[in-house]
Chains A and B, each alone.
Chain A
Amino acid sequence: MLKVENLMVFYENALAINELSIHIEEGEIVGIIGSNSAGKTTLVNTLSGLLLDTQLKEKRKGGERITIFGKITFLGKDITDLWPDERVKMGIVLSRERHPVFVESDVEENLKIAAYITTKREMKENIGFVYKVFPSLVPLRKRKAGFLSGGEQQMLAIGMSLMAKPRLLLLDEPLLGLSPSIQVKLIESIVQIRKDANVTILICEQFARPVLPIIDRGYVLENGMLTLEGTGKELYNNPEIKAAYFGV
């Protein structure tokens, strides 16, 4: 479904992603595991196209020079130079790191804003679906998103990306800053989303322990380089992973 070939991303002369090739098949949950500064966020920003926007803005103000090499294909089409809004229309939707929701709007309005590319009828259906996946958002419907807790904002952020009818959902550190019990709940919701909405999911995460059991395949990134790949089970039982991410 998605294929990344020899991707390299530079910030000035610093190499953020080095010769990375990954692929995602329809219906899978794929995990990208890596510690801080491994290049996870850069990778999803490149996949969603946001990096192109950042690149242009930096260029305008004469700031950091960002260079992208390599090729990204989605559903057989080369999307390397496609802008983020075009990619969203094709079905690649990103839920960004640290759940940046629209803090001044209430929960329901956040979902409505997120329904920009869909029709009104689809919007109503999708709102119903989001409330089904995250029932705890229902009593908060009229609350301003800025007053929600971190976990609730994260659910909202994922809900918002569901509003855009994703075929491939990119989740950037969905577990960041959440308590272990909420992490477990969120992971269950992610599995449910794949089942009910028929979405392919890519999770970037450093908390490997809750993520590895639910993924079909995983890649381990270190300093922008692919160091390991395998099925979720293989990675879970890998002694190096255990030492590096489980603290055993």
Chain B
Amino acid sequence: MFVYGLINSAVLALMAIGFNLTFGISGVANFAYGAIYVVSGFLTWSLINKLNIPYPLSALSTIIIIGILGALIYRFIIKRIRGLVISEVIATFGISIVILEFLRYVGFIGFKYSLPMFVSGSVEILGAYVDIQRLLIIGFVILLIIALYIFTHHTKIGRAFRGIAQEEHTSLSLGINPDWIASLSMGLGSSLGAFAAIVILPLGTITVDGGYDVLINALSVCIVGGLGSTFGIIIASVIIGYAQTLTATYLAPHWTMIVSLFAILVILVFKPSGILGHQKELEERV
């Protein structure tokens, strides 16, 4: 119970990190995130099974290709409507539907679409049998968060990310080009989505509808945690993760999706900026 809840939380956090990164930096709510997640799954599958490329190599090239794809989506579509929030949402959601329904049309449906585990086998922890893959997810989340922290605090591009996230015009007057940084953030966010897909998807089969679920989960974690706050994401994914696991155990598994949506509703009623709404926190203290 404890272990499964923790793993579920880690899965949610992993799904949300990429979405959150793009939003936190460029302010673009990337609703194509779920589609990118699913495409990454199918792309890796195709590379392995159609082109016979070894698994680690396919995974790596997927992450890179999807990253470039994300940056291109920014360059050619979102750049033109940057700053118009509603248009950004409509455009990215449109992209999402196009990608997902196209995949469905082409025929990516069935149980054969699943990715291999990194390590198969399971171990017993606290009386529960757990796949090693699921434990790896927890490890990856921790590593990823540390890596992102180092990246945003100790590299030039990472610092530029933080600058753009806070004051776009000041950054611009210091020579940081917001469009360049935003396409990088979109690319990196998509890469993180691809990474999440490659780590998480081996636990089940790749389905087109999974894209919508991932989007809703990522969205609810980000809204509950406070958009743009990494620490908020961790807290929110733990809360929602355990809530989902408890619901699945004591109610029924098909109620879990409602948990995320319900969490969005509750947080919007009681604390609209999220548990750790970054900007708000400072305003309240000053």
Residues of A within 8 A of B (CB): 48, 50, 53, 57, 60-61, 83-85, 88-89, 93-96, 100-105, 109, 112-117, 144, 146-147, 160-161, 163-164
Given contacts A101-B167, A144-B282, A163-B174, contact A60 B159 (CB under 8 A): no
Q: B81, B84, B166, B286: which contacts A105 (Cβ < 8 A)? A: B166
B104 within 8 A of A: no
Q: Can you name 23 A-B pairs with beta carbons within 8 Å?
A: A48-B173, A50-B172, A57-B82, A60-B83, A83-B177, A84-B173, A84-B175, A93-B173, A93-B174, A93-B175, A96-B170, A100-B167, A102-B163, A103-B167, A105-B162, A109-B159, A116-B159, A116-B171, A116-B174, A116-B175, A117-B175, A146-B282, A146-B286
Q: Indicate whether B75 reaches chain A with its CB closer than 8 angstroms.
A: no
Which residues on B sit within 8 Å (CB–CB) of A115? Answer: 156
B interface vs A, CB < 8 Å? Answer: 80-84, 153, 156, 159-160, 162-163, 166-167, 169-177, 278-279, 282, 286
**Quick one: which of B160, B175, B177 contacts A164, CB cutoff 8 A?**
B175
CA distance A160 to B166 in the complex (A): 15
Q: Looking at chain B's contact residues, is the secondary structure mostly helix, strand, loop, or mixed?
A: helix
List of A residues within 8 angstroms of B177 by Cβ: 83, 85
CB-defined contacts of A93 to chain B, threshold 8 Å: 173-175
How far does the Cβ of B23 sit from chain A's closest Cβ, in whole Å?
Answer: 15
Q: For A163, list chain B residues within 8 Å (CB).
A: 174
Q: CB-CB < 8 A to A94: which residues of B?
A: 173
**Which residue of the partner chain B has the closest CB to A104?**
B166
B169: which A residues are within 8 A, CB to CB?
Answer: 50, 53, 96, 100
Partner of A61, one of B83, B153, B176, B286: B83
Within 8 Å by CB of A88, from B84, B159, B175, B279, lies B175
In the complex, chain B residues whose CB is within 8 Å of the CB of A103: 166-167, 282
Task: Tell me the smallest distance from the CB of A199 to a CB of chain B, in Å.
Answer: 15
**In the complex the two chains form, is A116's CB within 8 Å of B176's CB?**
yes
Extra A-B contacts (14), CB below 8 Å, given A94-B173, A113-B162: A53-B172, A61-B84, A85-B175, A89-B175, A96-B169, A96-B170, A103-B167, A104-B166, A105-B166, A113-B160, A116-B156, A116-B171, A160-B170, A163-B174
The 6 A-B pairs with the shortest beta carbon distances in the complex, nearest first, are: A88-B175, A113-B163, A117-B175, A102-B166, A94-B173, A85-B177
Given contacts A60-B80, A61-B84, A146-B282, contact A116 B160 (CB under 8 A): yes
Give Cα A113 to B176, complex, Å.
9
Task: Find A102's partner among B83, B162, B173 (CB 8 Å cutoff).
Answer: B162
Which A residues are CB-close (under 8 A) to B278? 104
A84-B172 contact, Cβ under 8 Å, with A57-B83, A103-B282:
yes
Q: What residues of B have a CB within 8 angstroms of the CB of A89 in the complex?
A: 175
Are A102 and B84 in contact (CB-based, < 8 A)?
Answer: no
A161 touches B282 (CB 8 A): no
- On chain B, the residues within 8 Å of A61 by CB distance are 83-84
> What is the chain B residue whose CB lies nearest that of A123?
B156
Most buried by A among B83, B84, B153, B170: B170
